[in-house]
A and B are shown apart, each in its own frame.
Chain A
Amino acid sequence: MTTETELLIKNGIVYDPINNVDGEVRDICIRDGKIVDSVSAEAKVIDATGKAVTPGKVECHSHMVGITPTSARIMRPEDIRTRVSASTDVRRAGGGRTVPNTWELGYEYAKLGFTRAYEAAVTPLYSKEAILEFNQYPILNKGIFTLFGNNWFVMDYLKSKEQDKLTAFVSFLLKTTGGYAVKLVNPGGNEAYKWNAEWNCHHADDPVPHFGVTPREIIKGLCIANEELGLPHSIHLHTNMLGVPGNYEVTLDELNITKGIAVGSDSGRVQNTHITHVQFNSFGGDEWRTFNSKADEIAKYINQNDHVTADSGNVIYGDATTMTADSPAEWALYKMTHNKLISNDTEAEDGVGIIPFLYSKKSPVHSVMWAIGLELLLLTDPWKMFVTTDHPNGGVFLDYPLIYSWLLSKKTRMEEAESSHGWALKRTGLGGIDKEYSFYELVIATVAGPARSLGVAKREGHFSNGAAANVAIWDINPLEDDLSRDPQVDKLATTAYTIKNGEIVVKDGTVVSAPMTPLDVAHAHVDYEIQRTVEEELKTKFKRYYTVQFENYIVDPDLYLAKSDRIDVVSGKVHFIPYATQTEEAVK
C-alpha cells in the first residue's frame, strides 16, 4: 500500500484548489505515502521544473465493473478488438475502448492522472461480482454506488411512511453489499418498465405501479436517510425521463425536492444531492424536431442553489456503449436504432439496459447533445459541475482530454462546433459563450470539486500535510503556454508522472508499477434496536421477494472485503479506517 521511500517533487507549478494554490512554484514532499512538510536529503527527487503538478484526479461517475459492464463486454467483442495491449512484467494484458477489461481500465485511468474512481451503479444482488472485479482493478482507489431507486424495500417503507426503518435499511444494505453511496436511477421508472417496456415514471408525481409511491417520495426519503446517516457522499441522483426532449422541467422539479434538507455529514461536502450526467437531462423542446438546449436553465439553478452538485456527462463523437440502469431510456434507444440491446431485470431491485451507440457529427440531435455538455460546464461554477462522460455512455474516458481542450480553448471548441451539424450552434447557446477555463478551473472540475463532493477531501485531492500522496505531474506549463490557443491535447492525455500513495505508477505514459488498492465501504451506524427490527423484517420479506437466502445475499466480509478501507460514520462524523489497521484491530 505505502512505500517507505521518500519523494521530493521539486519546483513544480502547483495547483491545489482546496488550499487556494493557483500555479505557485513549490516543492511537494512525500513520505510513507503521505504529503509532509519536508523530507530528508536521501529522498528521491523528481524535477518538475516547468511542469504542472496537481493532485490525482477523481472520477465521480463511470461504469467499470459489475454485471452491466461485463454484460456489455460479453456483447461487444468487436470493441475489445479495436485496441489491445499486451502483457508486460508490470501489467496484465487487455484491450477495449468503450468496455475495456478491468486491468486495462486501471492502467488507462492512471495514465490520465486519475487516482480514484467510483463505479456508478451496482445492483446489490450483483455486488459480489462488482467487488470481485474491483479486487482485480489496479492502481486506483475505488468505491461502489449502490442502487436504491427502485428497491422494493425502499418503496415498502416509504409506502408505510417509516422513515427510520428506511434509514436503517440504507445503512444495512450499504454495509452488507460493500457500497459507498446511495445511487438512484430513474426512481420508480424501472419498476414500471419491468411490467411493460413502454411504461415509465414520466414525472416526479407519477406513481409506481402497485407500490403507489412517487419518484418525489423516493428521492426525498432517500435523501433524508442519507443525511440522517451522514454518509460521506450525498445521494447520487439520475433523474427521471433521461434522454427525452423537454425533460429539463422534470430535472428542475426533482432538484427542488431536496432543497432545504440539511447536510448531516462532516465529510466536507456542502451538497445533499449530486445530480449525475445532467447533459442527458437538460433537453428542451417537445420532440426531436424541436429539440434544443436548456443547459442555461439547469446551470442557473445549480449556480443559485448550494444543495446541488452535478457532473456533466459530455458527449464525444464516436463509438460508445450506452449502459444504464435506466432501462426505459435504453428501450427507447433500441426502438430508434435496432442495435443489439441487452436488458437485465434484477429481482426486487433494479434493471439494466445496454446498447452500442454511435454519436455522429452529422446528426443534429447528437450535435446539440455535444454542445449541451460543454454549455453546462462553461456556465456553471466548476466547484459544482465536474467533467465526466458518464463513461461509456456519452463517450469514452480515454477521450477526456478532448473535453479539456474544448473547455480550455474557445478556438478548439468552435472548430469542433463548426464541423458538427448546424444545430450545435443554432439550438444551443454555445456560440455565445466566451468563457475559457483556466488550468486552475480545470483542476477544480476534475480534482477538487469531485473530491469534495464525494466526501474524500479530508484524505486526498489536495496537498495539505497528511493527505494521501496522489499526484499527477503534467508536461504542461500553464504559466507560460497559452492553453487557449493550443490546449496540448496529447500532453493532457498522458501524465509525465502519476504517483499513487507515494509510489510512481506511471512515468511518461507508461505504467511502471501497478499496486493493488483497496475499496471504500461505508459503514453507517444506526440505533441497534431499529437495525435489528429491520433485519428481522427483511428476513421475512426475503422469503417472498428473493430467490437467494438472506444469509447468502450478504457479502461475506472475509472472502470479498478483506482488503477494503472502511468509512465508519457515527452520528454524522466520518472516520476513515484503512484495512491495515482493521487487521491490527482483529489481532487485538
Chain B
Amino acid sequence: MDNKLYNLVTKEEKCYGCGNCVVACPVNAYNDPAVAGGKGPEQLDKVIMCVENGVIKILNMGLCKGCGTCIEECPDGAIGLEVNYTT
C-alpha cells in the first residue's frame, strides 16, 4: 500500500484545525460516511487524515491518490502535496 508517488506534508504551526481538508478529501468522504456529512471521522483506519489535538495529522498516507483537493481548500498552506517525479 505504500505509495511513493505522492506524499502529503503538513505544517502544524499553520493549521487552524478547521477540518476543511478532512471533509473535502474525496477518499475520506467515500470511506467514512460521517466525514461525508461533515463530521469527524469515525473509522480512523479508513481515512487519510484527521484533526488531532487541534491540528492536522496524516493517518494513512497510502490511501492518498494525490488529487490535491485538500490543498485547494486550505487557505493557509498548512497542507501540501509532494509529487515524486522520479519513481
Contact = CB atoms under 8 A, between A and B. Distances in A.
Interface of A: 540, 543-544, 546-547, 549
B14 interface: no
Given A543-B33, A543-B37, A544-B36, 9 more contacts: A540-B33, A543-B36, A543-B39, A544-B33, A544-B37, A546-B37, A547-B37, A547-B38, A549-B39
A298 B45 CA distance: 62
Contacts of A544: 33, 36-37
B34 interface: yes
A541 to B, nearest CB: 9
A549 B34 CA distance: 10
13 contacts: A540-B33, A543-B33, A543-B34, A543-B36, A543-B37, A543-B39, A544-B33, A544-B36, A544-B37, A546-B37, A547-B37, A547-B38, A549-B39
Contacts of B38: 547
Interface residues of B, number: 6
B34 to A, nearest CB: 5
B38 to A, nearest CB: 7
Nearest to A546: B37
B85 to A, nearest CB: 38
Interface in B10-44: 33-34, 36-39
A547 B38 CA distance: 8
A537 to B, nearest CB: 13
Nearest to B33: A543
Nearest to B42: A543
B65 to A, nearest CB: 23
A564 to B, nearest CB: 30
Interface string B41-66: 00000000000000000000000000
A210 to B, nearest CB: 18
A547 B34 CA distance: 10
Contacts of A540: 33
Contacts of A547: 37-38
Nearest to B39: A543
A548 to B, nearest CB: 10
Contacts of A549: 39
A85 to B, nearest CB: 46
Which 9 A-B pairs have CB atoms at the shortest separation, nearest pair first? A543-B37, A543-B33, A543-B34, A544-B37, A543-B39, A544-B33, A540-B33, A547-B38, A544-B36
Contacts of B36: 543-544
A85 B71 CA distance: 60
A543 B34 CA distance: 5
Q: Which of A543, A544, A546, A549 has the most CB of B within 10 A?
A: A543
A195 B14 CA distance: 39
Interface string B75-86: 000000000000
A546 B36 CA distance: 12
Nearest to A544: B37
Nearest to B40: A549
A44 B34 CA distance: 63
A540 B38 CA distance: 14
B79 to A, nearest CB: 24
A546 to B, nearest CB: 8
B37 to A, nearest CB: 4
A543 B37 CA distance: 5
Contacts of A546: 37
